[in-house]
Copies of this chain bind each other. A is one copy, B any other.
């Protein structure tokens, strides 16, 4: 198939299009040594062999998870070494970043209200949430017990959920405190 040395492998522009990347991204990966193509017969044009394409596939996958290029390089060079650590690290970073953006959202909604701009943009609020649950037949007691369950079974996710409702940090801690107190007695299996 690809016996001819000059036409062996793909050119940079073609490869970029195939993976939905920009040409300059691939040039950059070459410059930092993350993805090095062979330079063809005369050493003038980049040629990406099958091995390079496979490697790029990996790179794209990790990039879609927001893993920085330096970490990707480490993973690809010795996968056994730090793969799990890198991925879990990134997950933790993501949680922190999302919490930060939620906080910005909260501040922003506050600013919009104090500035008198009303426009009911697609941001969740605590009131809207409880309204929906009530409309579905949830009583106040149900919600209290539900928070307790949630806090007991997965405290981190419970915190994240409260952040999703755009509740301020001190209020979140308050809710979690009484939820944890109530959640002491466990009931039912699973």
Contacts and interface: CB of A to CB of B under 8 A. Distances in A.
Q: Is the interface of A mostly helix, strand, loop or mixed?
A: helix
Interface stretch (A10-18, A39-47, A154-162, A174-182): A154-162
**Number of chain A interface residues as a range:** 35 or more
A124 interface: yes
Count of chain copies:
2
B132 A112 contact: no
B64 A91 contact: no
Interface of A: 61-62, 64-66, 83-84, 87-88, 90-92, 94-95, 97-98, 101-105, 107-109, 111-112, 115, 117, 119, 121-124, 128, 131-133, 135-138, 142, 145-146, 149-150, 153-157, 159-161, 164, 188, 190
14 contacts: A65-B107, A66-B108, A87-B108, A88-B119, A122-B154, A122-B159, A124-B157, A124-B161, A128-B153, A135-B149, A135-B188, A136-B142, A138-B138, A160-B164
